[in-house]
Amino acid sequence: MPAILKENSAIKFRAVREARGDFPILSTQMNGRPLVFLDSAASSQKPQFVIDAIDKYYREQNANVHRGVYSLSQLATDLFEQSREKVRAFINGQYSREVIFVRGATEGINLVAQSYGRKFFKPGGTIILSQLEHHSNIVPWQMIAEEKGLEIKVIPINKEGELQLDTFEQMLSEKVQMVAVNHISNALGTVNPVKEIVEMAHRFDVPVLIDGAQATLHGSIDVQEIGADFYVFSGHKMFGPTGIGVLWGKEELLNKMPPWHGGGEMIKTVSFEKTTFNELPFKFEAGTPNICGSIGLGAAVDYFSQFDPKEVVAYEKELLAYCTSGLEEVGGIRFVGTAKNKTSVVSFLLEGTHPYDVGIILDKLGIAVRTGHHCTQPLMDHYGIPGTIRASMAMYNNKEDIDRLIEGVRRAKMMLG
């Protein structure tokens, strides 16, 4: 839990049940029915609070940052840097200069692979990933592994979709140069024991990157508690805008890493003979940053801070249980991913049907779910399936949404069965 919350037990939180009304899109219609949005694991909806912050920025505060002496540029710079500080507090990082603004989780991982990997990876070494990874936490490592001559190894899962830590322990050695795993699986909802994974890797001095893209939606993150070396996430998956995300890294490591992109902002001095680079975080933020996106992300953090993270998680667990038992009653459902520690994601198959066909029927009924491989093809291959139907819930969903989903799945079963 962020220090601000820990220290201030007098904070009066809003009730989680009030959240729904803050999201304008949830009172719109899709295909003639009230929208039921159950695809938050792909991208979350945005509250009016965030939309207003973005609107206000372009109407009243827009200018380039870190350059102008004029007041408007100062204002934009202040807002931009305040957002960095908000993010730091949200993840309980030590210094705001450890917060690097990037386009999203994907870019954060690429930055580490290209900057840290290019400099420090040695041929013959190993990178450990897991069977649960999103393509974004596979492909950047494959690219650098190929270039530098490293091997990729994969932490296996059991049939519930939980990482096998005893095998992971055996995979660790001095040869391992990076461990990169997700905090929460987007396809199955498994919550991984990231703190334990970090502890195990650190016994061999192996750095760990945590892909937190799915974690920030469900509560606060404490990067110091987790102990990881890098933590990445995307604004759009936590009520913020697209095109903005964060790479958080330990200062000591970030300082040792070379810049990745070159350009304005990231330099101290430039001449054709020699260029010197700026300090953290600017060293990694070449060019005009996504100023508005950062401010929108800061607003998303502020919005989130109105709610008690513990209540958010408890409420989502309630939705998860309600959805799971409702689907069980339909019959003919195969759940994919039944980890003990799971977030509000339900991945399933309906016997005798293709996920895509079920998705189309649900769409006609105004229900948005994800169907397919969820950018986790190796995981789907592991289960021997082409994909699943995935309903993923956020704190703005309610039991009526789930009732509509169950009703829709019943309908699909009748029509396709």
Ligand X SMILES: *Cc1c(COP(=O)(O)O)cnc(C)c1O
For the segment 276-335, give every residue that binds ligand X (CB under 6 A): none
Structure tokens at 364: 């006609």
69 CB contacts (<8 Å, ≥6 apart)? none
Q: Binding of ligand X at residue 218 (CB under 6 A)?
A: no
375 is catalytic: yes
Q: Output the smallest distance, CB 63 to ligand X, in A.
A: 27
Q: Binding of ligand X at residue 104 (CB under 6 A)?
A: yes
- Name the one range near ligand X by CB under 6 A: 62-70, 170-178, 210-218, 345-353: 210-218
Give the count of beta carbons closer than 10 Å to the beta carbon of residue 266. Answer: 20
Angle, CA 191 vertex, CA 397 and CA 330 arms, to 5°: 50
Q: Binding of ligand X at residue 211 (CB under 6 A)?
A: yes
38 CB contacts (<8 Å, ≥6 apart)? 367, 368, 369, 391, 392, 393, 397, 401, 405
**At 29, which helix (H) or strand (E)?**
strand 29-30
User: How far apart are alpha carbons 228 and 233 in whole angstroms?
Assistant: 14
Q: Binding of ligand X at residue 397 (CB under 6 A)?
A: no
Check if the beta carbon of residue 362 is closer than 8 Å to that of residue 369.
yes
Q: Output the smallest distance, CB 410 to ligand X, in A.
A: 29
Catalytic residue among 375, 379, 395, 405: 375
Strand extents, DSSP E, 213-310: 230-234, 245-249, 267-270, 275-277
Q: Binding of ligand X at residue 136 (CB under 6 A)?
A: yes
- Name the one range near ligand X by CB under 6 A: 129-137, 321-329, 361-369, 380-388: 129-137
Q: Output the smallest distance, CB 150 to ligand X, in A.
A: 21
Q: What is the CA radius of gyration of the chain?
A: 22
166 CB contacts (<8 Å, ≥6 apart)? none
Q: Binding of ligand X at residue 229 (CB under 6 A)?
A: no
Choosing from 83, 114, 137, 397, the residue that interacts with ligand X (CB under 6 A) is 137
- Name the one range near ligand X by CB under 6 A: 130-138, 293-301, 334-342, 360-368: 130-138
For the segment 235-264, give every residue that binds ligand X (CB under 6 A): 237
Q: Output the smallest distance, CB 232 to ligand X, in A.
A: 8
Q: Binding of ligand X at residue 182 (CB under 6 A)?
A: yes
Q: Binding of ligand X at residue 110 (CB under 6 A)?
A: no
- Name the one range near ligand X by CB under 6 A: 28-36, 104-112, 156-164, 199-207: 104-112
Provide long-range contacts, Cβ within 8 A and 24+ apart, for 155-158: 155/128, 155/129, 155/130, 155/131, 155/181, 156/131, 157/130, 157/131, 157/132, 157/190, 157/379, 157/382
Choosing from 131, 190, 234, 388, the residue that interacts with ligand X (CB under 6 A) is 234
Q: Binding of ligand X at residue 92 (CB under 6 A)?
A: no
Q: Output the smallest distance, CB 109 to ligand X, in A.
A: 7
Judged on CB neighbours under 10 Å (0-12, 13-18, 19+), 184 is buried
Which sequence positions are flagged as catalytic? 375
Residues that bind ligand X (CB under 6 A): 104-106, 134, 136-137, 182, 186, 211, 213-214, 234, 237
